[in-house]
Structure 1
Amino acid sequence: MLSGLTKFILGFFLAIAVLVGGGVAVALYFMNRTGIPPAKPVFSNDSPSVKAQAPKGTQPGEGKPSLTPETSTKSSPTSTPTESPKATPSPKPLPSGAYRGRVSWAEGLSLRSQPNQEAEKIGGVAFNQKIIILSKSEDKAWQKIRLEGSEQEGWVKAGNTEKVDEQQPEKPEQ
């Protein structure tokens, strides 16, 4: 009789321990899953390169792409894709103290209206994009740049750009 009562009590406590252990494990799992931050969304107005890389027909307001000889899926085995010639702008004279450069930060940079982290974002600069570095802030932590080929100017964090030697051939994009 004593062994039956002992078995009952041990079984009862074992069942309670399994239920509590399972509940704790499930709670820890869900708490850990909610503690992982989601991936940062990338919007087309954060970086000009995002909009430029979207395939034709996916931009808002565009109709469906039509199949023309250039976009046809059929191609002859001897044809090779050719890139359309790009207009090479004649280099304008740079302001005094300015030099040409490129963005060396792999994620690209935020273009800000003032040389501080809290300033309004006015655009973005993609990795390897050509820029003109106009000046540095007084504390040398920020650089005022102009996007090459446009008149847009703004501030980026210093150390994320590199000077481009115009005599050397350009580095290939990675």
Structure 2
Amino acid sequence: MLSSLTKFILGFLLAIAVLIGGGVAVALYFMNRTGIAPAKPIFSNDSPSVKAQAPKTTEPGGGKPTLKPGTQAQSSPSSTSTPTESPKATPSPKPLPSGAYRGRVSWAEGLSLRSQPNQEAERIGGVGFNQKIIVLEESEDKSWQKIRLEGSEQEGWVKAGNTEKVDKQ
């Protein structure tokens, strides 16, 4: 009789231990799942492919027009009568305002484009690493820069020190 009572008590305690252990394991699993940060969302204005939409006909500073497929470049002037295609005139880029200069983003993670020169301002876009920009002005305390994305009309403020000048004017 004592052995069957002992078996019952041990079986009861073992069942309670299995239930408690299973409950703790499930609780730990769900707590760890909620601790994982979700994947960073990707927006169309954050993608570096956005800057590749505008076709480029000349290299910056190069001044050499690109040839269309099927045309040949002449290595020396000659008096041949074969017609060659003249380079098309490209619309000149908008002249820079006084005090503005061309630059690029030097911060590896890219920058947030803000509507006002402060951290709490609305985020209106993003600028990728090495993306070409035009620095228009600086804030009075020199901690923010107003920029325009090159090849776009989008303007906004970025934290100063994360861009670098690319050409001397």
Query: TM-score under structure 1 normalisation?
Result: 0.63
Percent identical: 84
Once the two structures are superposed, the pairs formed by residues 120-139 of structure 1 within 5 Å of their partners are 120-139=122-141
Contact 1:145–1:156 (CA<8 Å) still a contact in 2? yes
State the superposition RMSD in angstroms: 2.9
Structure 1 residue aligned with 2:25 = 25
Contact 1:43–1:50 (CA<8 Å) still a contact in 2? no
Q: Deviation digits for residues 83-137 of structure 1, max 9, x if unmatched?
A: xx83237676644433321112233222222112232333332221111222222
Please say if 1:86 is aligned against 2:88.
no
* In structure 2, C-alpha distance between the alignment counterparts of 1:17 and 1:152, rounded to whole Å: 63
Structure 2 residue aligned with 1:140 = 142
Please say if 1:112 is aligned against 2:120.
no
How many angstroms does 1:53 deviate by?
A: 7.0
State the secondary structure of the residue aligned to 2:43.
coil
Contact 2:51–2:151 (CA<8 Å) still a contact in 1? no
* Dislocated runs of 4+, deviation >6 Å: none
Aligned residues: 136
Alignment CA distance shift 1:96-1:41 (3 Å): same
Once the two structures are superposed, the pairs formed by residues 40-51 of structure 1 within 5 Å of their partners are 40-44=40-44, 46-47=45-46, 49-51=48-50
* In structure 2, C-alpha distance between the alignment counterparts of 1:160 and 1:52, rounded to whole Å: 19
Question: Aligned AA for 1:124?
Answer: G
Contact 1:48–1:123 (CA<8 Å) still a contact in 2? no
How many angstroms does 1:165 deviate by?
A: 4.4
Question: Aligned AA for 1:153?
Answer: E
Question: Aligned AA for 2:129?
Answer: F
* In structure 1, C-alpha distance between the alignment counterparts of 2:104 and 2:52, rounded to whole Å: 19
Larger Rg: 2
Q: Deviation digits for residues 33-54 of structure 1, max 9, x if unmatched?
A: 123231122122x326355679
How many angstroms does 1:141 deviate by?
A: 2.4
Query: TM-score under structure 2 normalisation?
Result: 0.65
